[in-house]
Amino acid sequence: MKLRRDVFQAIADPTRRTIISLVALQAMTPSAIANNFEYSRQTISKHIQILSECDILKQEQKGREIYYHLNPEGMKEIAAFIEPFRKFWDERYNKLESVMKNYKPKK
């Protein structure tokens, strides 16, 4: 049985979050991803491997190239964790908006 990495540890790293943002826009080869960083290709490959082990990234073979793209299914665990907080802050912002609409500055 293959152990799956902790998705939250994976996204804790800013480099990996940047990789997620890059491939969310378009599928990219490891070289194309690495070109966005000042790190070695090997370092970026390790980050890609970690994200793949968490099922956040999926790979697709096109000819001789491997392309990585975002796997929305792999993001569900993150979204499920964040959702209650989003609702909490949406309610707070809505209350603040209501207060601000009724606010009349003193002249």
Q: Which listed CATH number (1.10.10.10, 1.20.1440.230, 2.40.160.20, 3.40.50.620) goes with 7-102?
A: 1.10.10.10
Domain ranges of the chain: 7-102
For the range 24-31, what are the long-range contacts, defined as Cβ-Cβ under 8 Å and sequence gap of 24 or more?
24/70, 26/69, 27/60, 27/67, 27/68, 27/69, 28/67, 28/68, 28/69, 29/65, 29/66, 29/67, 29/68, 30/66, 30/68
Give the tens place of pLDDT for each residue, 23-75. Answer: 999 999 999 999 999 999 999 999 999 999 999 999 999 999 999 999 999 89
- 3: confidence class by pLDDT, cuts 50, 70, 90: low
> Picking from 35-39, 74-78, 96-100, which range would have the lowest pLDDT averaged per residue?
96-100
- pLDDT of amino acid 49: 96
Rounded to the nearest integer, the mean pLDDT of the chain is 90
